[in-house]
Structure 1
């Protein structure tokens, strides 16, 4: 069992180094955590949790806490508090977006990540990367096998109505454009972009070892014009409820790479 102090140490380590995140998540499952519940008891045999809407993106999240004092401070006496093992909380709240210590750490776990944790599947190690203003980049059709990646992502995106389209291409950066990565670009509603990007990373985990290039994922809003050069991409996914393509590329709907 992970103590409160040890869980906080693991969380701090994960905030400073993404390679420590796996140890933190393992510790979270065995730690005692605290959650808010309504002060009025729910019907017999049911468990209810308090949720709130994030002001930054409008997402509904379920807060939970690494120690009782944090839970009491956030609740301000307006809610009840329950404690249980982290794994049990994740099991009871599947389908919800969780946020650990929303008043300070704000560590988010999306439903796709919760499902992976509970079934001992890896979430992977990834970081947010900022592009350099004025950076020269090149876009090209993939030159390496990508069928497995396309199939994994198309299967996931097909369950997500917030996603309108998915494009796959090579991104060339750096000196002489010699730094090459695979780039997945998704057209998705802005409030769902972070969840979909992270869910896509979870979906891609089983095939990452077979890729010969690093993988980057970025999102565009439906209102945002796509950058020049996307005509080189494969449109590997198109939501049937939307236009099949934002640019002049034929839709392959999870088909072969170019």
Structure 2
């Protein structure tokens, strides 16, 4: 993100620049129609690219006020785009720009591309990663206000946890509760496999949890892991670990 490039890795080992000179793109997700949606700190928006390499903003404001700095995004089974909107990108100059927020909250949103409706679903200290369970009935959201301690003058909130919510048929969230806290660092990005296991990044590697929050295992990484994603078949986990892209082949 600080280098303002979206990179593409290919199975033969090639790494190419897919989009150069980005507006501090962070999280990305694939839509059912094959288009990519992006979180942009620079333009403080959700954008979409349709293969032409030119991302176009599709969500920029909530109730007439500019978003903070969208961080991560996932697409639900019904095509709705869910994203987190913390303030990292307007507090850290290497991730965006230093500006005062227009919103007085940091939230998770649901955007329906069919009718353009944007709904504020839940508020957090600083929401970060998010992902659905395999059946779509549970939403996991990480809250990582602890990371603001990396900024000179950062606030004292020490939140470093993943919360989960029940998801109704219309997308409404309820019964928010603690899922887990990491012992080292904070749970930045994470992924959920077909069994419902949660694979979360932390300061020391990848921590694996059962759907009931029981810790199943740990995979150390050579550098701090910030996000992870499964190959479509679920047999390989890709991990973004600072200066490495790691691939873990799994026995399922």
- Scaled by the length of structure 1, the TM-score of the pair is 0.24
Rg (Cα) greater in structure: 1
Where is the helix percentage greater, Structure 1 or Structure 2?
1
- Scaled by the length of structure 2, the TM-score of the pair is 0.25
